[in-house]
């Protein structure tokens, strides 16, 4: 147990240490000359960052630098595409895609001799004027980090580093200086809305949970960390990079609504996040920021972890609670809402990780500070996981109201290989595909809904001209069919039928009337399903039907897949004018569908080859082997 | 709670705040179809057939009326708008896309809730949505029933009754999404599980997915076989429900027409299980008094309900010595038919076929148990449910409503009112106590009613003081209630001498073999109360209301058995139990 | 559903002791079934009927209810996994970069479908949801090893490492 004074003491001592990781800070004062930060998030760990950290520590000892250079394993920096990532402070030099074998060179040249290894730096930071720091790159420049403020900055396994960054200050303020009603009012005033997808005002949720059942003997605070949208990893990054912020915010929520117990429901597929949460909870209990009489007040609060077991539907609030109770994760009808009858039928609030990550900052900086960011109805910032056909795959946090163009072109570095932007998918299986004409719409909750998608938890998948929109819709429906809990009829059977209709379309077996039937079924499932999963499952279909109807029609009428994705509709043909008759295609064809014809194009020596469409299995091997690019697909 | 005013289809309705739309509509005389909804035990909002439109000030939207509480004054509800109808129709079309649609050969054709609603909603095409249709093997592993998941609509009513009413939970939803199906653990057949055969799942199934094993053909064949002497008997609760199959209001006692129909079906004798009930009381009251007065195993527990007996063997094997060793009434009658009566009519027991018409599916299991064969052949050959009897009557072209009232045949047909009330929870206990009272007081013909153990409460308790002798009794119906009671008995929290347990909630009147009432009836009428009333009325109107005064039973003891609990009784009327495991 | 295994159950007394300890540790917890199942799977590697029956008896939860829970969640397995379990990410980021083709290729090479195990018990194959390594898309894992930025022609090479 630590007293408030002791915690304040830790903050004062550690703060200058941490300031070293803030280039140009005048407050920096560390016992180390340099801090080397290595990403320990899932992305970089998967590509070997922990081996780099080990190598670095060994190399530092070998060079007698262990007292001068501190190695810090942080959470995600965001630029996953460039992982493994290493940053050297105080200068903020940014190494990307390094390997353990590069470590000796970096230690020798940079840490010993003071000359950064230019060829290993992120190319954008190497300029004629010198080396730019991380924060000057286009990826970071436009970002505004609130929820992610500690990610990639602190060691998530060290509570002192969290405290150094004003950690647990908000909780201390709340329990010592604020009434629960004031806390709720602050959150209400801030305009914070749920970051998990729905966008329900967080303060409103808290207020209901505080007041709706006045004589409740038990209430619960839950954290939804069952991030299951394919391609989304915002919550994972916060949990891996800054687990204490979630614990602190949940405690604040507990104080606000009058709960003493919290649960974090986290995906078991996130082992690093689970491990760091376990460490954080143990440390918080040790320091007394969780447990009885927090900071000497009457307020007691504890948190337990619950692991998901691979069911996307458990991200739905009632399903999540059903699952914590030890059941099949099937949603329950609402009303009653969880604020009235939630976990074990007691008043419960459930917020997602990113929502919580904003809370301590709102308490410390005030509602006005928060509401000054963002748009009229969507305040603050939003974290997006950029994925798909984009250069800078990774995690970004931008003020609400930033346009898609800014996120994709400026921060995301645009689309690789000179391809054209075709669509951006937000909201995962619940969201929709945004077409190029909405490239400049400011992103916020209401605008996204207006253009047929939704915020969702923040997955943002970019697609280019090579992606078939019918295929994408089918992909999401396949996901929904797999993840439907099977409780209600519209979702259980309806999504399956939708998937089958889409499958028919991609095989060229559908007629125009089927598109109307599909659309009708979509609207039916939206209006009749039991929970959010079913109610939003048709969105990927509806948004693509609306924005890319011509592509559907091409599949149905012309029996063509314009993007060349749907195998059944593909045809490989040899352009006889270009074919040089080398026969490489025929040699590589696994089913012997290619043979030499009679026609010799003008200027060519040998007869062109011909593909027998009835034998072709559309594997594309011929095309990838054709040197004069004479084979086309369409 | 305060009342609120809403409009349903333009009709003003005032209901207490929090009332569901479904209930509010019912009070306004508006039916909303449901599949999954069962009050209190299955309020899951899953099937979405009850969707209605509601406007609470922010425009109309669709909600599930069965679980949607009315909390906003002046809400407007539409239960039959084009949008609602369209939703309902699509839900049905989707259900049909996974249903086997073999209506013509389905046992439920004509009283299938899915079929009826399709008809009501004007479904004119069965295959609007084509696609993958799961195919399931029919489970015929249980003695008493079939499960055909090809007809299942996943309403989960069966799951709810098995778990919540019966505390058994051997069926449930497995897998998820489109692959979800109702089944048992590890794809075990029902016969391999600790299913107690109560049949409540069948009684609540809206479609033909669950059905009893039908023996009507075998019985018709036996009747037609000249070498067989075919005796039929009917349980008390059958007469209180059979009429429902022929359009009579719930709770109509059709005893006379039923006896007439059985005669017309060609049975050689039409006997009454109520006679067997009186005989059971002779043995059971004697057994109880013997245990009570001579330090036998207490509490003694009744053994008339074979679902309960099987439950006890699986879930409370340590208590099987507490079970009365008495066979159930129809087994007693069967035993006497093949011994005592066989001698009287000079027939070889092998040539006698005893058919029991029961409100029960567990009796199909019971008649095949060991130690139920007084004459060396099974006491009972076939058990038919009330529903199967109705099928036989229809198949034979008997116009039930036009039948005259007839009596049961003698000598196994006379019964007391005490025998009649066996069909309702508390009835066996009351019948036994009536006789015990007379025995203990010596007042042979004083009729005492024990109203404190009547009614539909899950667990009822009473302390009876007979001439200073205090007997503590408890009555439970529904096996979840029974389990709760027995746990307290085992822990010593509950001190009791005599326990009556009926597997089915409310007793046999609500048995798993009784006519299936659709959700639209079940959710708004209490079948247990209405049917039990028919039996209590019959009892109240009888001269003979004490089992020990039944002249034909007395004659049986004089001519054949000797005394209750005597050697011959033990050989023919008592049985034994086995410990079983839980699966 | 995965194909049924013919491997007989060979749980040890030590494993059963650990399972009982896990159950005892959760006695007072009303929602204990999920954590107990998760830890049981850690102990045994899968959740066969023998294990589920112990949990059913000890926790007084009907076996069918446990089975219903186990078959609901993708992470619970009724069958043992291969020595090397291959998981192919079919999350959006991986899918748009061609992980579907890689998955097909693996099925073709190994001759098994989703959730199945090769006859020699060496490899099992499953599709998984996003593991969050989107920067490396398309991704697969073999037990704890992660392989990213894959193409179909790299598949054979990876498998060869585990022969």
| Same domain as B138, residue B64 | no
The mean pLDDT value for B350-360 works out to 98
Query: Is B169 close to C1, i.e. CB distance below 8 A?
Result: no
Q: What percent of chain B has pLDDT over 70?
A: 100
| Same domain as C55, residue C107 | no
Query: Is A527 close to B97, i.e. CB distance below 8 A?
Result: no
Mind telling me how many Å the CA of A506 is from chain B's nearest CA? 15
| Same domain as C89, residue C66 | no
What's phi and psi for B560, nearest 5 deg? -135, -55
Residue partners of B271: CB distance under 8 A and separation at least 6: B231, B232, B233, B333, B337, B408, B409, B412, B413
| Same domain as B457, residue B428 | yes
- Give the residue carrying structure tokens 């009570």: B292
User: Subunits with at least 3 CB pairs below 8 A relative to chain B?
Assistant: A, C
Is residue B17 within 8 A of residue B2, CB to CB? The reply is yes
How many domains, chain B?
3
Question: CA angle A361-A366-A369, nearest 5°?
Answer: 85
Of A311, A326, A461, the CB nearest to C33: A326
Is residue B106 within 8 A of residue B327, CB to CB? The reply is no
Please give the pLDDT value at position C3. Answer: 42
Query: Is B132 close to A481, i.e. CB distance below 8 A?
Result: no
Looking at the complex, does the CB of residue A530 fall below 8 Å from at least one CB of chain B?
Answer: yes
C143 vs A358: which has the higher pLDDT: A358
The closest of A632, A514, A628, A503 to A570, measured between CA atoms, is A632
Residue partners of B304: CB distance under 8 A and separation at least 6: B277, B280, B326, B328, B329, B422, B428, B502
Q: What is the pLDDT of residues A259-317, one digit of tens each?
A: 999 999 999 888 899 999 999 999 999 999 999 999 999 999 999 999 999 999 999 99
Looking at the complex, does the CB of residue A618 fall below 8 Å from at least one CB of chain C?
Answer: no
| Same domain as B380, residue B324 | yes
pLDDT higher than 70, residue A422: yes
Q: Which residues of chain B are within 8 Å of residue C49 when distances are taken between CB atoms?
A: 185-186
What's phi and psi for B176, nearest 5 deg? -145, 170
Q: Which residues of chain B are within 8 Å of residue C67 when distances are taken between CB atoms?
A: 172, 174, 184-186
| Same domain as C96, residue C136 | yes
Residue partners of B474: CB distance under 8 A and separation at least 6: B299, B459, B460, B461, B462, B485, B494, B496, B498, B499, B500
- Give the residue carrying structure tokens 């090397």: C84
| Same domain as C54, residue C106 | no
Confidence of residue C5 (pLDDT cuts 50, 70, 90): very low
Query: Is B173 close to A527, i.e. CB distance below 8 A?
Result: no
Task: Give the residue on C whose Cα is nearest the Cα of A82.
Answer: C135
Mind telling me how many Å the CA of C142 is from chain B's nearest CA? 26
Of A270, A311, A461, the CB nearest to C72: A311
How many domains, chain C?
2
| Same domain as B107, residue B83 | no
The mean pLDDT value for B500-522 works out to 97
Confidence of residue C132 (pLDDT cuts 50, 70, 90): low
Residue A485: how many CA atoms within 13 Å on its side-chain side? Answer: 30
Q: What is the pLDDT of residues B281-331, one digit of tens each?
A: 999 999 999 999 999 999 999 999 999 999 999 999 999 999 999 999 999
Q: Which residues of chain A are within 8 Å of residue C130 when distances are taken between CB atoms?
A: 228-233
Mind telling me how many Å the CA of A331 is from chain B's nearest CA? 9
Mind telling me how many Å the CA of B176 is from chain C's nearest CA? 5
Confidence of residue C1 (pLDDT cuts 50, 70, 90): very low
B188 inside domain: yes
Residues C138 and C97: their CA atoms lie apart, in Å, by: 6
Q: What is the pLDDT of residues C48-73, one digit of tens each?
A: 999 999 999 999 999 999 999 999 99
Query: Is B174 close to C52, i.e. CB distance below 8 A?
Result: no
Task: Give the residue on A whose Cα is nearest the Cα of B69.
Answer: A335
The mean-pLDDT minimum among B61-65, B162-166, B448-452 falls in B448-452
Query: Is A530 close to B51, i.e. CB distance below 8 A?
Result: no
Q: What is the pLDDT of residues B323-339, one digit of tens each?
A: 999 999 999 999 999 99
Name the residue range of residue B337's domain.
216-573
Residue partners of A131: CB distance under 8 A and separation at least 6: A91, A93, A116, A118, A121, A125
Confidence of residue A198 (pLDDT cuts 50, 70, 90): confident
Looking at the complex, does the CB of residue C139 fall below 8 Å from at least one CB of chain A?
Answer: yes
C-alpha torsion angle, residues B388, B389, B390, B396 (rounded to 10): 110
| Same domain as C94, residue C149 | yes
Element (H, E) at C41: helix C33-44
Query: Is A467 close to C96, i.e. CB distance below 8 A?
Result: yes
Please give the pLDDT value at position B99. Answer: 97
Pairing of strands A261-266, A220-225: parallel
Q: What is the pLDDT of residues A326-341, one digit of tens each?
A: 999 999 999 999 999 9
Looking at the complex, does the CB of residue A329 fall below 8 Å from at least one CB of chain C?
Answer: yes
Residue partners of B453: CB distance under 8 A and separation at least 6: B426, B429, B430, B460, B462, B473, B475, B500
Domain with residue C112: its CATH number is: 3.40.30.10
The mean-pLDDT minimum among A117-126, B21-30, B288-297, C125-134 falls in C125-134
| Same domain as B195, residue B159 | yes
Alpha helix (H) residue ranges in B367-470? 386-395, 417-420, 427-441
Please give the pLDDT value at position C4. Answer: 45
Query: Is B176 close to A484, i.e. CB distance below 8 A?
Result: yes
The Cα-based distances of A408 to A440, A449, B232 in angstroms read 11, 19, 82
For residues B262-292, one letter each, b for 16 or more C-beta atoms within 10 angstroms of the residue's C-beta and e for the rest, the string is bbbbebbbbbbbbbbbbbbbbbbbbbbbebb
* Interface-testing mutation among B21, B33, B35, B46, with chain A (most A C-beta atoms within 10 A): B46
| Same domain as B251, residue B373 | yes
Of B49, B90, B177, the CB nearest to A492: B177
Mind telling me how many Å the CA of B362 is from chain A's nearest CA? 30
Mind telling me how many Å the CA of A345 is from chain C's nearest CA? 13
Query: Is A333 close to B178, i.e. CB distance below 8 A?
Result: no
C1 inside domain: no
Please give the pLDDT value at position C134. Answer: 67
Q: Which two tokens stand for residue A11?
A: 């903050």
Residues B470 and A390: their CA atoms lie apart, in Å, by: 85
Query: Is C96 close to A472, i.e. CB distance below 8 A?
Result: yes
pLDDT, averaged across chain B: 97
Residues B184 and C70: their CA atoms lie apart, in Å, by: 13
Q: Which two tokens stand for residue A21?
A: 């990781």
| Same domain as B551, residue B404 | yes
Residue where a domain stops, chosen among C22, C37, C72: C72
Task: Give the residue on C whose Cα is nearest the Cα of A477.
Answer: C92
Looking at the complex, does the CB of residue C59 fall below 8 Å from at least one CB of chain A?
Answer: no
Q: Which residues of chain B are within 8 Å of residue A529 when distances are taken between CB atoms?
A: 48
| Same domain as B425, residue B326 | yes
Peptide bond into A402 cis (omega under 30): no
pLDDT higher than 70, residue B262: yes
What's phi and psi for A89, nearest 5 deg? -110, 155
Q: For the beta carbon of residue A129, count every other beta carbon within 10 angstroms.
A: 5
pLDDT higher than 50, residue A141: yes
What are the structural domains of chain A? 32-141 (3.40.30.10), 159-371 (3.40.50.11540), 381-464 (3.10.20.600), 469-558 (1.20.1440.230), 571-633 (3.30.70.20)
Helix (H, G, I), strand (E, B) or coil at A268: coil
| Same domain as B220, residue B207 | no
- Give the residue carrying structure tokens 């059944």: A568
Q: What percent of chain A has pLDDT over 90?
A: 81
Please give the pLDDT value at position B284. Answer: 95
| Same domain as B462, residue B406 | yes
B92 inside domain: no
B578 inside domain: no
Query: Is B583 close to C63, i.e. CB distance below 8 A?
Result: yes
* Interface-testing mutation among A309, A419, A473, with chain C (most C C-beta atoms within 10 A): A309
C37 inside domain: yes
Please give the pLDDT value at position B489. Answer: 96
Helix (H, G, I), strand (E, B) or coil at A20: coil
The closest of A335, A339, A341 to A211, measured between CA atoms, is A339
Q: Which residues of chain C are within 8 Å of residue A310 when distances are taken between CB atoms?
A: 73-76, 129
Residues B307 and B360: their CA atoms lie apart, in Å, by: 9
The Cα-based distances of B200 to A558, B330, B372 in angstroms read 56, 20, 24
| Same domain as B148, residue B62 | no
* Interface-testing mutation among C1, C47, C92, with chain A (most A C-beta atoms within 10 A): C92
Confidence of residue A423 (pLDDT cuts 50, 70, 90): very high
Is residue A124 within 8 A of residue A137, CB to CB? The reply is yes
Looking at the complex, does the CB of residue B173 fall below 8 Å from at least one CB of chain C?
Answer: yes
The mean pLDDT value for A159-184 works out to 96
C44 inside domain: yes
Q: What is the pLDDT of residues B195-211, one digit of tens each?
A: 999 999 999 999 999 99
Which of A 453-482 lie inside 8 A of B, CB atoms?
Answer: 481-482
Please give the pLDDT value at position C9. Answer: 84
Q: What percent of chain B has pLDDT over 90?
A: 98
Residues A388 and C130: their CA atoms lie apart, in Å, by: 13
- Give the residue carrying structure tokens 């999963």: A533
The mean pLDDT value for B156-174 works out to 97
The mean pLDDT value for A64-84 works out to 91
Any idea what DSSP says for residue A427?
S
- Give the residue carrying structure tokens 């009012």: A185
Residue where a domain stops, chosen among C72, C100, C119: C72
Starting from the edge strand earliest in sequence, which strands make up the sheet with A348-352, in order?
A: A302-307, A261-266, A220-225, A348-352
Confidence of residue C146 (pLDDT cuts 50, 70, 90): confident
Q: Which residues of chain B are within 8 Å of residue C46 when distances are taken between CB atoms?
A: none
pLDDT higher than 80, residue C93: no
| Same domain as C66, residue C116 | no
Domain with residue B48: its CATH number is: 3.10.20.740
| Same domain as C118, residue C62 | no
Confidence of residue A197 (pLDDT cuts 50, 70, 90): confident
State the ipTM, two decimals. 0.95
| Same domain as C97, residue C53 | no
Residue where a domain stops, chosen among B69, B87, B105: B87
Helix H, strand E, coil C: the string for B464-502 is EEECCEEEEEEEEECHHHHHHHHHHHHHCCCCCCEEEEE
Confidence of residue A48 (pLDDT cuts 50, 70, 90): confident
Q: For the beta carbon of residue B461, count every other beta carbon within 10 angstroms.
A: 16
pLDDT higher than 50, residue A443: yes
Helix (H, G, I), strand (E, B) or coil at A130: strand
C3 inside domain: no
B579 inside domain: no
| Same domain as C91, residue C119 | yes
Please give the pLDDT value at position B252. Answer: 98
Residue where a domain stops, chosen among B56, B87, B118: B87
Mind telling me how many Å the CA of B499 is from chain A's nearest CA? 34
Mind telling me how many Å the CA of A388 is from chain C's nearest CA? 5
Confidence of residue B349 (pLDDT cuts 50, 70, 90): very high
Q: Which two tokens stand for residue B456?
A: 């539909």
User: Subunits with at least 3 CB pairs below 8 A relative to chain C?
Assistant: A, B
Of C57, C62, C68, the CB nearest to B174: C68
Query: Is A270 close to C33, i.e. CB distance below 8 A?
Result: no
pLDDT, averaged across chain A: 93
* Interface-testing mutation among A49, A76, A228, A230, with chain C (most C C-beta atoms within 10 A): A230
The closest of B577, B574, B552, B576 to B564, measured between CA atoms, is B574
The mean pLDDT value for A407-420 works out to 93
| Same domain as C123, residue C68 | no
Q: Which residues of chain A are within 8 Å of residue C59 when distances are taken between CB atoms?
A: none
User: Angle, to 10 degrees, between the axis of helix A234-241 and the axis of helix A271-287?
Assistant: 40
Name the residue range of residue C98's domain.
84-160
- β-partners of residue A611 are A594
Is residue B415 within 8 A of residue B272, CB to CB? The reply is yes
Is residue B415 within 8 A of residue B278, CB to CB? The reply is yes
Please give the pLDDT value at position A547. Answer: 93
Question: CA angle A206-A210-A215, nearest 5°?
Answer: 155
Is residue C37 within 8 A of residue C70, CB to CB? The reply is yes
| Same domain as B435, residue B336 | yes
Q: What is the pLDDT of residues A353-378, one digit of tens each?
A: 999 999 999 999 999 999 999 999 99
Largest CA distance in chain C: 53
Q: Which residues of chain A are within 8 Å of residue B179 when distances are taken between CB atoms?
A: 486
Looking at the complex, does the CB of residue A220 fall below 8 Å from at least one CB of chain C?
Answer: no
Residue B348: how many CA atoms within 13 Å on its side-chain side? Answer: 4
DSSP B116-136: HHHHHTT---TTSS-S-----
pLDDT higher than 80, residue B511: yes
Confidence of residue C81 (pLDDT cuts 50, 70, 90): confident
Residue where a domain stops, chosen among B162, B192, B212: B212
Query: Is A43 close to C137, i.e. CB distance below 8 A?
Result: no
Q: Which residues of chain A are within 8 Å of residue C73 when distances are taken between CB atoms?
A: 308-311, 329
């Amino acid at each position: 147990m630590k007293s408030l004074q002791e915690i304040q003491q830790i903050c004062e001592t550690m703060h200058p240490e941490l300031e070293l990781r803030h280039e140009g800070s005048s407050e920096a004062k560390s016992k180390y000359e340099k801090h080397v930060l290595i990403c320990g998030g899932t992305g970089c760990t998967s590509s070997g960052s922990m081996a780099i950290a080990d190598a670095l520590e060994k190399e530092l000892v070998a060079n007698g630098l262990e007292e001068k250079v501190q190695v810090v394993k942080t959470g995600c920096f965001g630029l996953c595409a460039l992982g493994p990532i290493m940053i050297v402070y105080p200068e903020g030099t940014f190494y990307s895609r390094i390997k353990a074998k590069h470590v000796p060179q970096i230690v020798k040249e940079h840490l010993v001799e003071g000359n950064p290894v230019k060829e290993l730096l992120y190319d954008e930071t190497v300029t004629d004027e010198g080396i730019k720091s991380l924060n000057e790159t286009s990826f970071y420049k436009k970002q505004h980090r609130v929820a992610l403020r500690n990610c990639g900055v602190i060691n998530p396994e060290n509570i002192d580093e969290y405290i150094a960054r004003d950690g647990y200050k908000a909780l201390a303020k709340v329990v010592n200086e604020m009434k629960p009603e004031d806390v709720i009012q602050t959150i209400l005033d801030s305009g914070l809305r749920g970051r998990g997808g729905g966008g329900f005002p967080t303060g409103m949720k808290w207020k209901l949970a505080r007041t709706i059942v006045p004589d409740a003997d038990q209430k619960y605070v839950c954290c939804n960390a069952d991030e299951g949208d394919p391609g989304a990893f915002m919550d994972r990054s916060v949990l891996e990079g800054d687990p204490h912020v979630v614990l602190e915010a949940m405690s604040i929520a507990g104080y606000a609504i009058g709960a003493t117990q919290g649960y974090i429901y986290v995906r078991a597929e996130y082992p690093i996040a689970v491990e760091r949460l376990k460490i954080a909870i143990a440390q918080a209990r040790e320091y007394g920021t969780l447990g009885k009489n927090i900071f000497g007040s009457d307020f007691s609060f504890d948190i337990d972890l619950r692991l998901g077991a691979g069911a996307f539907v458990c991200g739905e609030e009632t399903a999540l609670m059903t699952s914590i109770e030890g059941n099949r994760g099937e949603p329950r009808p609402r009303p009653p809402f969880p604020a009235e009858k939630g976990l074990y039928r007691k008043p419960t609030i459930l917020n997602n990780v990113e929502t919580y990550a904003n809370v301590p900052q709102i308490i410390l900086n005030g509602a006005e500070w928060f509401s000054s960011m963002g748009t009229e109805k969507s305040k603050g910032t939003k974290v997006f996981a950029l994925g798909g056909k984009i250069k800078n795959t990774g995690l970004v946090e931008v003020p609400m109201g930033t346009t898609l163009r800014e996120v994709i072109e400026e921060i995301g570095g645009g689309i690789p290989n000179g391809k054209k932007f075709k669509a951006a998918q937000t909201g995962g299986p619940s969201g929709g595909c945004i077409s190029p004409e909405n490239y400049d719409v400011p992103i916020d909750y209401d605008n996204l809904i207006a253009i047929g998608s939704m915020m969702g938890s923040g997955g943002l998948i970019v697609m280019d001209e090579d992606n078939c929109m019918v295929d994408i819709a089918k992909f999401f429906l396949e996901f929904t069919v797999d993840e439907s809990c099977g409780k209600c009829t519209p979702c259980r059977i309806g999504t399956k039928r939708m998937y089958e209709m889409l499958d028919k379309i991609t095989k060229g077996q559908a007629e125009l009337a089927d598109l109307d039937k599909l659309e009708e079924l979509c609207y039916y499932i939206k209006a009749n399903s039991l929970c959010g999963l079913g109610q939003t499952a048709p969105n990927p279909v509806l948004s693509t039907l609306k924005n890319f109807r011509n592509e559907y029609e091409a599949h149905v009428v012309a029996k063509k897949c314009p993007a060349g994705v749907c195998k059944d509709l593909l045809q490989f043909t040899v352009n006889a004018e270009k074919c040089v008759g080398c026969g490489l295609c025929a040699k590589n064809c696994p089913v012997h569908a290619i043979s030499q014809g009679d026609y010799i194009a003008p200027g060519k020596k040998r007869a062109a080859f011909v593909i027998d469409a009835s034998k072709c299995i559309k594997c594309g091997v011929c095309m990838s082997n054709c040197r004069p690019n004479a084979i086309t697909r369409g | 709670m305060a009342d609120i005013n809403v409009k349903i289809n333009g009709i003003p309705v005032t209901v207490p705040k929090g009332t569901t739309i479904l209930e509010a509509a019912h009070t306004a005389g508006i039916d909303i179809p449901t599949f999954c909804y069962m009050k209190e035990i299955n309020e899951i909002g899953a099937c979405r057939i009850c969707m209605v439109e509601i406007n609470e000030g922010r425009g109309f939207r669709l909600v599930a009326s069965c679980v949607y509480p009315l909390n906003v004054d002046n809400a407007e509800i539409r239960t039959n708008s084009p949008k609602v109808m369209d939703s309902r129709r699509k839900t049905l079309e989707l259900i049909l896309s996974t249903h086997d649609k073999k209506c013509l050969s389905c046992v439920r054709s004509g009283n299938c809730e899915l079929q009826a609603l399709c008809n009501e909603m004007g479904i004119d095409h069965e295959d609007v949505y084509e696609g993958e249709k799961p195919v399931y093997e029919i489970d015929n592993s249980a003695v008493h029933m079939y499960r055909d998941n090809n007809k299942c609509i996943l309403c989960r009513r069966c799951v709810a009754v098995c778990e919540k009413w019966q505390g058994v939970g051997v069926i449930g939803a497995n897998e998820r999404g489109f692959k979800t199906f109702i089944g048992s653990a590890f794809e075990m057949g029902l016969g391999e599980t600790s299913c107690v055969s109560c049949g409540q799942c069948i009684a609540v199934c809206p479609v033909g997915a669950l059905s009893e094993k039908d023996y009507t053909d075998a019985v018709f064949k036996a009747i037609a076989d000249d070498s067989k002497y075919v005796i039929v008997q009917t349980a008390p609760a059958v007469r209180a429900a059979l009429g429902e199959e022929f359009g009579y209001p719930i709770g109509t006692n059709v005893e006379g027409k039923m006896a007439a129909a059985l005669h017309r079906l060609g049975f050689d004798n039409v006997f009454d299980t109520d006679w067997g009930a009186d005989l059971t009381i002779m043995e059971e009251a004697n057994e109880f008094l013997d245990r009570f007065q001579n330090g036998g195993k207490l509490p003694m527990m009744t053994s008339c309900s074979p679902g309960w007996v099987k439950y006890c063997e699986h879930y409370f094997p340590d208590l099987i010595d507490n079970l009365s060793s008495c066979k159930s009434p129809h087994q007693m009658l069967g035993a006497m038919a093949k011994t005592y009566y066989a001698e009287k009519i000079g027939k070889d027991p092998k040539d006698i076929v005893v058919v029991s018409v029961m409100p029960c599916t567990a009796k199909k299991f019971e008649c095949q148990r060991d130690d139920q064969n007084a004459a060396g052949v099974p006491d009972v050959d076939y058990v038919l449910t009330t529903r199967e009897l109705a099928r036989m009557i229809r198949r034979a072209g008997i116009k039930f409503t036009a039948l005259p009232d007839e009596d049961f045949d003698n000598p196994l047909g006379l019964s007391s009112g005490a025998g009649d009330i066996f069909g309702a929870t508390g009835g066996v206990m009351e019948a036994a106590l009536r006789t015990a009272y007379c025995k203990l007081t010596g007042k042979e013909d004083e009729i005492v009613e024990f109203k404190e153990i009547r009614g539909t409460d899950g667990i009822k308790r009473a302390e009876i003081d007979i001439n200073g002798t205090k007997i503590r009794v408890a009555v439970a119906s529904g096996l979840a209630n029974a389990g709760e009671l027995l746990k307290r008995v085992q822990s010593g929290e509950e001190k009791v001498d005599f326990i009556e347990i009926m597997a089915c909630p409310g007793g046999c009147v609500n048995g798993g073999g009784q006519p299936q009432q659709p959700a639209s009836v079940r959710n708004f009428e209490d079948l247990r109360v209405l049917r039990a009333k028919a039996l209590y009325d019959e009892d109240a109107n009888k001269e003979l209301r004490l089992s020990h005064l039944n002249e034909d039973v007395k004659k049986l003891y004089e001519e054949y058995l000797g005394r209750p609990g005597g050697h011959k009784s033990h050989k023919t009327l008592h049985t034994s139990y086995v410990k079983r495991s839980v699966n | 559903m995965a194909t049924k295994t013919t491997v007989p159950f060979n749980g040890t007394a030590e494993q059963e002791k650990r399972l009982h300890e896990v159950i005892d540790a959760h006695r007072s917890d009303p929602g204990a079934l999920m954590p107990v199942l998760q830890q049981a799977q850690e102990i045994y590697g899968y959740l066969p009927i023998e294990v589920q029956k112990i949990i059913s008896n000890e926790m007084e939860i009907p076996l069918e209810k446990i089975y219903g829970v186990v078959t609901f969640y993708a992470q619970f397995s009724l069958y043992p996994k291969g020595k090397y379990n291959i998981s192919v990410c079919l999350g959006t980021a991986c899918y748009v970069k061609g992980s579907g083709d890689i998955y097909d290729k693996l099925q073709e090479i190994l001759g098994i479908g989703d959730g199945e195990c090769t006859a020699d018990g060496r490899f099992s194959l499953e599709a998984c949801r996003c593991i969050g390594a989107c920067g490396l898309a398309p991704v697969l894992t073999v037990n704890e090893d992660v392989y990213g930025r894959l193409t179909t022609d790299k598949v054979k090479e990876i498998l060869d490492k585990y022969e």
